[in-house]
Structure 1
Amino acid sequence: MNGNKILMLTALILAAVGLAAGCASRPAAPPAEPVPAPRYAAELEPYEEAVDPACAYFQFTWGKITELGCCLEDARYAYQQALICDRKADYVMRSLAMLLLRMGERAEAIAWVQRIIELKPADLSALSLLANLYTTASEVEKAVAVYRNILTIEPGNANAMLMLGVLYAGSEREEQAQAVFEELVALHPEFFLGHYYLARFYRDMGAMDRALAAYDRALALNWTPAMAQEAAAAYESAGLYEQSLRLYRQMIADDPTDERARGLLANIYLRLDRVEEALAELAELRHYSADVDNIDLTIARILLDEERYQEALILLHEMLSDEPRLDAVRSLLVLGYYRSGQVARARALLEEIRPGDYGYEEAVLMLARIYHGAEDPVTAARILDRALAEPEHRYLSFYVTLALLHAEWHDAGQGILVFDRALRDLGPTARVFFEYALYLDRIGDGEGALAKMQEVIARDPQDPFALNYVGYTWADRGENLTQALTYIEEAVRLRPEDGSIRDSLGWVYYRLGDYRRAVEELELAVELLPDDPVIYDHLGEAYRELGQRGAALTAYRRALELLDPLQEREKRMAIEEKIEELAR
């Protein structure tokens, strides 16, 4: 046995003993005699001739063993020693880079991988590792450059093309991403991941026909439940429910215990109003689920929605007999009794619910509603007052409901006192001020409502609804327009898909005299809320100021169609006058 082999064997034995005893701050020094000293000093230039490959391999082996024992600092030291022995040992550099990653030192890891590439410019595994490191460090352009380099060395490299496409898509370079993905599947038609990422890209771009075709190809190459579920969701979003059902059925055929697939299948049946099939699927799911109670509750809710009260009540009573304190069942029973006209039984059950029980808040509100509906507002108010006497279980909804009851009894001032009490009991929070403002607006106190909404903004400057309320009120009055624009722009930033807030932005532009911007925002608001007559009225105003007479008439007429002919007569008359003026 030669000296080098003896040296390596000795290292392995010593390492095994060291791991059994635990890691020290540095690995135990190997025996002095067997280890040959480096023939060259440590000051050697990085890529001068190797000092001693055997020494390097010994230190590398030592490093690997200590790394496996989770002594990362010791492993790092050993790898560095190996690189003193052999400055060109790329296998050591690679292990050191991966170790540094484990230690969270990404920058130093990148430096070592770059050194490997300096030694071996065409090393594809090192280049791929470098690109991945750049990607995880969010240095996208550097990662892109490395993947392009890989494709120069090896045109058509599937993994490099895939990752390049992903980086392009993630940095909103859709055309480049599409070109790379499409070339990838053309060059590698059996590459599953290529078709999968192409499908996701098309889906995100809204090209659903292409996305679905790519999903189908990916499933043909590699069927998995997760992939099938994603494809089924894509079919569902495209309104192709039968194809979605087909995929869920196939998932269930492959695995009858797949609870998620059965639940999603039942949900689509409900969306299609195929209630019996949904109920049948849920009944089958009971055989495989550990949470049978939750499934039965879902079935009961469906039966209640379908007005099949008797079936729902029978099921709920069966559940209640098994678990008398199942509060969710009791709440549904109340709803079933109430909807089926058994008000006395609903009332009796609600009376049993105590503060702290599940559904207590809803129970109090429903009980108050029952008495109010029975034209017994005094008892309704007494129930809410009794609930507010419980300091640990006061809800803002109790104050709001009580105040609204007073407003309906033509005692709006008493409702204001209720909200003043809420401020004392619950504190001057943004939520309390917001509900207070809505109440004041409802009873016609616009100034009070505006002041309370400003209190909301003072406490929560990012409440989009308060910002919108104040901004729109100012715009409608033609005052504080600059501040109104600032408020509404912030509200739009917070809720860009809210059509009402978009309408406010359009209206403030209108008040500022920027009619083109007003039309842009109001047209977007109409897309978001296509059945709101106020938005069409505003849009008609903006079109009229731009001299677009035909567009204004169309908008006004649409507003007229959407207004209630009985409850909004004054608004209808105002719009009819505008139409008559333009039609002359």
Structure 2
Amino acid sequence: MKSQAIHHLGLVMLGCSCVLVGCSTTPLDATREAAREDAALPRDANTLLVGAELALERKEYRNAARILAEASALSDDESLAERATRVAYEHHQYSYVIKSANRWLQINSTSEEAHRYAGFAALHMYRIDAAAEHFEALIDTAFISPQAGFMALAPQWLEEGSRPAVMALARRLLPKYERQAEAHFVLAQAALQSENMALARSSAERAVSLSPYWTPGKLLLARVYLIGGQKEAALQIAREIVAQDGKPENRMELAQLLFAAGQAAEGQRELDALLVLPETAAAAQRMAALLELEQGQYEAAAKRFRELVKAGRFVYESMFYLGQIAEQLKATSDAIELYTRVTAGDLTIPAQTRAARLKARSGKPADGAAHLQEFGREHPEAAIEIIGAQAVVLADLDQRSQALELLDKGIQDYPDHESLRTAKALLLERMQRTPQAIAEMRALVRDRPDDPTALNMLGYTLVDQTRQTREGFAMIEQALAQVPDNGAVLDSMGWALHKLGRNEDALPYLQRAMEHARDAEVAVHIGEVQWALGKLDDARTTWQAALKDFPDSTELKERLEKRK
């Protein structure tokens, strides 16, 4: 299974100068093209700055970042190197961030900001050794202590980098900071979010052993235990914390763990008490609303979300969930209006994408694309996410050629952003252009050789679509070693073993995959393996049960029709 996801070189005029045009679909091609173009650039920093300003005015951000990087290479002015770095970072041109930040560090080797920019750019590009070098310098010099450095940087790492990249970074940093509980804490956080439960557990336990009275470490260990199935151990830790320190935030954590562990009655008692405390009322209201939404109590959940909006708390998140409720109740106009109002926060792009899809499905397909185009004009900071969302909407409308054209243009503008390249590869496969899809996937793996998402995507495609099963199997093994509890990768491993004729070995992987990622494709695979093992009735039962959960799955319907 593919991981659940799952640059335009513009025109620049320098004085009365030449027009430089570049177009690429991979960073390697972009690098070669840029090298040729760099040779044609004027060798004067001031002239280059004029060209950079023109490029920025025309929104040719890749070109602007390239020209500024070249200008900074010709000057000893630290402020120019800083500007080149900032402009490149603001516009997601990470390879030029690294180039300009490295020049900045040549001019001022102690610049903390240069290390910060270079570190985050390297993290985005899955260059873990380079990222670790820069962040190690920050941890050692920019904070009152290494402990403070880890706790300050970790939320930013998790916000900007992929979860596996952050996990790899934390692992790379750990040997130097082995005695710091915070280093193990950050690794446990990243491992938990990357679906590597063994690493999350060992790291959280180590953090607690190093700092046994540190509440954040103990609460993280409780969450790890809960997700790993050790419910009583998790609740014991949380109850002990609340008994020793009954702060509202600790009680909130206990309530969440109780509900997650199936202890609803005790959880509700804690939640009811938190609802009447001024400092926790809004957070408790949010928790109650989410629980009711999960249980299908739409009216009760909607009432709570509306109260949160009225109180000015969790506003955008509440409007998103109100939009979901309206969509579930087939109130399409209300859902569109609510989603459209979500203009900030992590749910912005999902909300706008849902609004666009609903508009497109309401009889006016062009309205969906127009909605995202308008939002993109008003929110240029979300350009990359908008391109991806537009491509999804176009593909859903079977306008796949237009979606591919849009992604190609996006990759020209932002060749350092793997999400667009991943989207293109998956779209090509959906269009049954398998050789081209595999070429795109191989380019991603070449640029990000340790990225489990890229490895799994290519590995599964080779196993499923070609005769290169053993090569694909090896890539899936690499991915699984990093994220051993990821449902998509477990499914890929099971399917690869099936393709290799190892059906007895395949079934446990597929069953674990279904536990971690309920998906129609996983159910199809389980049934196929059961069928290959001669368990025909079991296979039919698997497909019939899955069809109840996924009634629109054509694959499940086809299997049941063919295997009567």
Structure-2-length-normalised TM-score: 0.49
Which of the pair has more CA radius of gyration?
1
Q: Whose RCO is larger (CA < 8 A, sep 6+)?
A: 2
Structure-1-length-normalised TM-score: 0.47
